[in-house]
Amino acid sequence: MRLHRATVTVLAIIALIGIVAGPAPAAETPRRGGILLAALGADPPSLDPHQEQTFATLQPVSPLYSTLLQIEPGNYPNVIGDLATEWKISPDGLAYTFKLHRNVKFHDGSPLTSADVKASYDKILSPPEGVRSIRKFHYSAVASVEAPDPHTVVFKLKFPSASLLLNLASPWNVIFPKKYLDKDPNYFKTHAVGSGPFRFKGRTPGSMFEGERNPDYFVKDRPYLDGYKFFISTETSVRAAAIRSGRAYIEFRDLPDSEVEAIKRQLGDKVVVQSTPFVINFGITINNTRKPFDDVRVRKALTLGIDRYTAGRVLKPLTGLRDVGAFTRPGTEWAMAPAELEKFPGFWRDAEKSRAEARKLLAEAGYANGLKLTLKNRNVKLPYQDWAVYVVQEWRKIGVEAEHRPLETAAWYADGRDQGNFELMIFPFGAWVDDPDQLLSPHTPNSPQNWNRSSNPGLEDLYQRQTRALNPAERKKLIFDFQKVVLDNAYILPGLWWSRNVVHWAKVRNYVAPPSHFTNQKLQDVWLAED
Amino acid sequence: MRTYLLKRLLLVIPTLFGAAALVFLIMRVIPGDVALLIFGGDQAGHIDPKQLAAMRDRLGLNDPLIVQFGRWLWGVLRFDFGASLWTGRPVMEELLIRLPLSLELALLATLVSVVISIPLGMLAAARQDTWVDYAVRVISIGGLAIPSFWVGILCILLLVIFFGWGPPLEFASPWTDPWANFQMMVWPVLTVGYRYAAVTTRMTRSTMLEVLREDYIRTAWAKGLQERAVVIRHALKNSMLPVVTLIGTELAFLIGGLVVTETVFTLNGVGRFLVDAVAHRDYPVVQALIFLTALGFVVINLLVDLTYAWFDPRIRYR
């Protein structure tokens, strides 16, 4: 009886707590069906992600394919398996062994085995004649890929690589069926046969791309959507209008604040805006071989002449350029702490003190009466030209007259990368993920991405050491040292880290925008609350 | 007539050759190449020098210019314009996806401009210096002064803001889904049609005014003919020569020249394709489109010239 009374008391307390606290918010039950309509800012040049590096290819094509590993949707940058169920790294860090899901089928009905994974990675690591591999350099540590049995893949390394696991989760490294690659390694530029949650349905170049639900997808009960459709428009205002009119439910890349405000004013809580950072920094590269920019005093004066903190406040609403940082994105585990960063020229909190120092350095270098230079740029308004306009007016305050010269993209590449035909140039550097290997690479002397043409063997050494450092604390120290050398010498001027607005109708559920517009694009967990 | 036709057709050859040679040279003179853009991507991407060199070699960009031009010209003679360097797809295949939309837009916009401009121009001339004339002049000068893409953006914004409606984003052929096609095409057709109606209205008005001062018109009035007969039967037909020339040139231009309108209304047409191809340094696409546009101009001009005899029976082709 006593036990009974105690039980009643406990139940009463639980009931009371329940009444006071109210009902616990029940997780929404995902709804099946519907077509996700999305706006896309460019036309995919081809359908082969191994050979392209534009979001215009990856966003529509990602849902068609599986990858070995993936960045966990909604938990960037955590790496989880996609085709891989488990993996093991050898103690010396020179062998990565992956076990694959069984019963995975390609959309043509053929089984996916380790031979397909090996063939896809072989294409990336050693592309045959006439095939390009854009991100081959991410895998310079890999010696070979082996498939000892149909459900095991082994990556053998030449040296330990701190970034390899992350790069095996690359959304670009989709797994193709080997039999098509054997016939034509360029087959997937115009065809799409994957094992992803959706199958290729159709495409009109320059206009539309669509996929439909894969009923044989190896992940149980996924995807929720019946399909998806991307509409292509290069005009930002048109994509924004498409969202406003409901012709599209989401724009995965970015819409500027002005458009976002207008959309919010009109649609209210019918839309959701996810503002996230972006793994892209818009900086300024300096041609270190040209006079007077071979003089570190001039380069330092130029970096001191830019008030980045004010820039972040002023440019954010106009362009999305926001965060002040060096060569790794602020807020990530590899970033410099603000207190450390503020010790470097160009990052002092006191803008007037920076300008005074800049003028002093210019005078020492023989430019007491001012300096004239040309700042070349890409003829893309957002955020290239807005950033340049800000920088030009900042430099005026230290006596530097910069002529802003926008170029067509093709000419920007030719002058910047190929010929070094520039003094200063707006230069974005970024990556599909916060990977120090990719973010630091453009600043290493031997990199083909190094437009600044600086030569400091110490940097190459630091870069190679950090890429092999498996201990995160040791790697962090090396990354800090690398950034210190570049900042102290002002070989290149980091600008601001971009941010982005992913705008979607509220009925689009279970999509979390990561800081990269390349990841979380498989759409397998996304659902529509209503049609 | 036959000699005239033969002469005109023979003149087509040097015209097209000149256009082809010119665009070929211009594209090679401007800096940048497609291989760099392919590897570069959205940002200043990592470009492997070996792969870049191999790509340039494979695309034939390292061959002497004369070899490249000869190869292209030989393809043109077989009506093979090669493959896009950017997408790898045959140029004709890419073009045929976009051509129906551009043709529809050009023909409908021309039709709209003719339907608006000829009655208005005629009316303005017949009622010169009255409120009718002033109203027509205001409308036509407005059309000339306001860019059609701006009118287009305004149309879309007003529709979206006040009705929450935007035009469809995907082209549907008028034969498969006429309603969707109408919803998509009506606004660009009206905005472009208005712009070109403005030009043609001005031309119709001024040529009509000239003709209305001719002796034979005075004779027609003296005979006691009704205004309708004098203006439409005698004056309008005789004032049509420059107007028809203008309409023909407009039509040829509209097929490939509506870049901004196509962008604003998300129309996947030839104009946007050409501009993208220039930006990508996609030589075969640019060369093919300019060549075919030049061919279109030549053919339309020839047809326009042949219609002159219908408007003015005194014209003889020698």
Are A207 and B40 within 8 A, CB to CB? no
Q: What is the pLDDT of residue A23?
A: 43
B42 has a pLDDT exceeding 80: no
Asked if residue A171 lies in contact with residue A518, where contact means CB atoms within 8 angstroms, the answer is yes
Region of residue A240 (left: phi > 0; alpha: psi -120 to 50; beta: else): alpha
Give yes or no for A446 touching B (CB within 8 A).
no
Which residues in chain A (257-276) have CB-CB distances under 8 A to chain B?
A: 266
Q: What is the pLDDT of residue A17?
A: 43
Give yes or no for A129 touching B (CB within 8 A).
yes
Q: What is the pLDDT of residue A20?
A: 42
Task: Calculate the average pLDDT of chain B.
Answer: 89
Write the residue in B32, B43, B48 that is nearest to A137 by C-beta: B48
3-state secondary structure of A452: coil
CB pairs under 8 A between A and B: 164
Give yes or no for A46 touching B (CB within 8 A).
yes
- Picking from B107-111, B132-136, B251-255, which range would have the lowest pLDDT averaged per residue? B251-255
Residue B151: CB atoms within 10 A of its CB come to 21
Write the residue in B45, B51, B266 that is nearest to A231 by C-beta: B266
Q: What is the pLDDT of residue A531?
A: 64
Give yes or no for B150 touching A (CB within 8 A).
no
**More confidently predicted of B51 and A498:** A498
Candidates B37, B95, B160, partner chain A, best to mutate (most A CBs within 10 A): B160
A5 has a pLDDT exceeding 70: no
Q: What is the pLDDT of residue A26?
A: 54
Shortest distance, CA B168 to any CA of chain A (angstroms): 7
- How far, in Å, CA of A395 to CA of A423, rounded? 15
Shortest distance, CA A448 to any CA of chain B (angstroms): 6
Give yes or no for A235 touching B (CB within 8 A).
yes
Which residues in chain A (147-186) have CB-CB distances under 8 A to chain B?
A: 186
A12 has a pLDDT exceeding 50: no
Give yes or no for B48 touching A (CB within 8 A).
yes
> Model confidence over A222-241: pLDDT tens digits?
999 999 999 999 888 889 99
A269 has a pLDDT exceeding 90: yes
Largest CA distance in chain B: 85
> Model confidence over A306-358: pLDDT tens digits?
999 999 999 999 999 999 999 999 999 999 999 999 999 999 999 999 999 99
Residues in chain B closer than 8 A to A246 (CB atoms): 164, 166
Q: What is the pLDDT of residue B45?
A: 64
Candidates B29, B36, B42, partner chain A, best to mutate (most A CBs within 10 A): B42
Average pLDDT over residues A162-166: 96
Give yes or no for B258 touching A (CB within 8 A).
no
Shortest distance, CA A449 to any CA of chain B (angstroms): 5
Are B159 and A242 within 8 A, CB to CB? no
Are A413 and B89 within 8 A, CB to CB? no
B253 has a pLDDT exceeding 70: yes
If you measure CA to CA, which chain A residue comes closest to B282? A410
pLDDT band at A380 (very low <50, low <70, confident <90, very high): confident
Average pLDDT over residues A131-153: 93
> Model confidence over B261-287: pLDDT tens digits?
888 888 889 998 998 899 888 999 999
B122 burial type by CB count under 10 A (0-12 exposed, 13-18 middle, 19+ buried): buried
Are A137 and B280 within 8 A, CB to CB? no
Region of residue A103 (left: phi > 0; alpha: psi -120 to 50; beta: else): left
| Inter-axis angle of helices B283-311 and B65-77, nearest 10 | 50
A7 has a pLDDT exceeding 50: no
If you measure CA to CA, which chain B residue comes closest to A282? B43
Q: What is the pLDDT of residue A52?
A: 87
> Model confidence over B198-219: pLDDT tens digits?
999 999 999 999 999 999 999 9
> What single string gives the DSSP state of each residue in B196-246?
HHHHHHHHHHHHHHHHHTSHHHHHHHHTT--HHIIIIIIIIHHTHHHHHHH
Q: What is the pLDDT of residue A449?
A: 81
Are A134 and B45 within 8 A, CB to CB? yes
Shortest distance, CA A313 to any CA of chain B (angstroms): 24
**More confidently predicted of A11 and B306:** B306
Give yes or no for B234 touching A (CB within 8 A).
no
Are A53 and B45 within 8 A, CB to CB? yes
Average pLDDT over residues A159-184: 97
If you measure CA to CA, which chain B residue comes closest to A210? B170
B138 has a pLDDT exceeding 70: yes
Give yes or no for A43 touching B (CB within 8 A).
yes
pLDDT > 70: what percent of chain B? 98
Shortest distance, CA B87 to any CA of chain A (angstroms): 5
B294 has a pLDDT exceeding 60: yes
Q: What is the pLDDT of residue A385?
A: 94
Q: What is the pLDDT of residue A232?
A: 93
Residues in chain A closer than 8 A to B160 (CB atoms): 241, 244-245, 266
Q: What is the pLDDT of residue B150?
A: 86
pLDDT band at A369 (very low <50, low <70, confident <90, very high): very high
The letter for the amino acid at A400 is V
Write the residue in B47, B58, B157 that is nearest to A417 by C-beta: B47
Average pLDDT over residues A243-268: 94
Closest CA to A327 of A191, A409, A434, A247: A434
- Picking from A24-28, A46-50, A175-179, B148-152, which range would have the lowest pLDDT averaged per residue? A24-28
Shortest distance, CA B54 to any CA of chain A (angstroms): 7
Residues forming beta bridges with residue A502, ordered by sequence position: A274
- Picking from A351-365, A432-446, B301-315, which range would have the lowest pLDDT averaged per residue? B301-315
A361 has a pLDDT exceeding 60: yes
Q: What is the pLDDT of residue A15?
A: 45
Give yes or no for B157 touching A (CB within 8 A).
yes
**Contacts made by residues B152-158, CB under 8 angstroms, sequence distance 24+:** B152/B187, B152/B188, B152/B191, B152/B261, B152/B264, B152/B265, B153/A237, B153/B264, B155/B187, B155/B190, B155/B191, B156/A238, B156/A241, B156/B187, B156/B264, B156/B265, B157/A241
Tokens of A186: 């360029």
pLDDT band at A448 (very low <50, low <70, confident <90, very high): confident
**More confidently predicted of B42 and A161:** A161
Write the residue in B33, B48, B166 that is nearest to A245 by C-beta: B166
Residues in chain B closer than 8 A to A233 (CB atoms): 169, 263, 266
pLDDT > 70: what percent of chain A? 95
A22 has a pLDDT exceeding 50: no
Tokens of A240: 């924004």
Give yes or no for A416 touching B (CB within 8 A).
yes
Are B169 and A241 within 8 A, CB to CB? no
Candidates B87, B94, B169, partner chain A, best to mutate (most A CBs within 10 A): B169
Are B170 and A208 within 8 A, CB to CB? yes
Asked if residue A47 lies in contact with residue A188, where contact means CB atoms within 8 angstroms, the answer is yes
A426 has a pLDDT exceeding 90: yes
Q: From residue B127, how far is each of A373, B136, B189, B231 by CA, in Å?
A: 61, 10, 29, 11
3-state secondary structure of A374: strand
